[in-house]
Amino acid sequence: NKKAFIFDLDGVIVDTAKYHYLAWQKIANELNIDFTLEHNELLKGVSRVRSLDIILELGKVEASQEDKDKWLFQKNEDYLSYLVDMNESEILQGVFPVLKFLKEKGQPIALGSASKNARPILEKTGILSYFDAIVDGNDVTNAKPDPEVFLIAAKLLNINPEDAIVFEDSVAGVQAANIGKMTSIGIGSATVLHEAKYIFNNFTEIDTNFIEDLIKE
């Protein structure tokens, strides 16, 4: 039995949320907008363009498209500077064993991320070769909770959406999986991700029996 195992990137495979946060904080500081870690939760799984809009809304700042483009560029340049030194040590605990197990079982694996920087991150962390398909922010027009990113991933793997399993850390991503009729697995807080079919605090809580059962289902 083949299933499509689709992984979100940020917050599931790596903790790049902290770098996004640092980069956005610089922009927010420049604009005198109070931007806390709590606010940062709002940006998870959300595109770069939408993230800036959320920050500007927080500070009730209105800006021209020209300014917005400048800040989007600055934010990404700064974010990229944090990625330079990235390596396999930044893969979140428990992820690598699951990827390995799925490979051993011959299960198709895809990435479904909102990020336009997904590929270099997979390269730097040394796990690019585990993925049979990569769908990221460069491939989609509709952001999560629209299921587009995951539907394209399942299609590339030649698997029906009903047979796809999605690992997500964001509310929007869990909703996208559910709307796409896929099995949603929330990685993070059960309070935040209560809409997911299964919820784990992190990948160390996911054992091979659970994965075997998913494959059999």
Among 4, 28, 33, 43, interactor with ligand G16 by CB under 6 A: 43
The catalytic residues are 8, 10
CA 61 centroid distance within chain = 28
Angle (nearest 5°) at CA 205 between 202 and 211: 105
* Closer residue to ligand G16 in complex, CB, 11/145: 11
The partner in contact with residue 120, picked from ligand G16, Mg ion, none with C-beta cut-offs of 5 to 8 angstroms by kind, is: none
Residue 116: CB minimum distance to ligand G16, A: 4
Binding of ligand G16 by 51 (CB under 6 A): yes
Nearest distance, CB of residue 176 and ligand G16, angstroms: 9
Least distance to ligand G16 from the beta carbon of 181, Å?
19
- Closest to 40 measured CA to CA, from 50, 25, 27: 25
User: CA-to-CA distance for 216 and 107, rounded, in angstroms?
Assistant: 12
CB atoms near residue 41 (< 10 Å) = 13
- Find the binding residues for Mg ion in span 141-200 (CB under 5 A): 169-170
Q: Which 3 state secondary structure label does DSSP give 88?
A: helix
One-letter amino acid at 122 equals L
Site string for ligand G16, 78-117 (x = CB under 6 A): -----------------------------------xxxxx
Beta carbon nearer to ligand G16, 3 or 44: 44
CA dihedral 122, 128, 132, 133 (to 10 degrees): 30
Residue 41's nearest CA partner among 148, 202, 191, 200 is 191
Give, in degrees to the nearest 5, the angle at Cα 196 between 193 and 201.
55
159 binds, among ligand G16, Mg ion, none (CB under 5 to 8 A by kind): none
Minimum separation from the CB atom of position 94 to Mg ion (A): 16
Can you tell me which of 4, 6, 27, 46 binds ligand G16, judged by CB under 6 A? Answer: 46
- The yes or no reply on residue 45 touching ligand G16 (CB under 6 A) is yes
Give the number of residues written for the chain.
217
Look at strands 133-135 and 4-7 and give their pairing: unpaired
Selected from 6, 8, 135, 187, the binder of Mg ion by CB under 5 A is 8
Among 6, 20, 45, 171, binds Mg ion (CB under 5 A): 45
Q: Token pair for residue 38?
A: 């709590």
Kindly list the residues in this chain that would bind ligand G16 in the complex (CB under 6 A): 8-11, 20, 43-48, 51, 76, 113-117, 137, 170
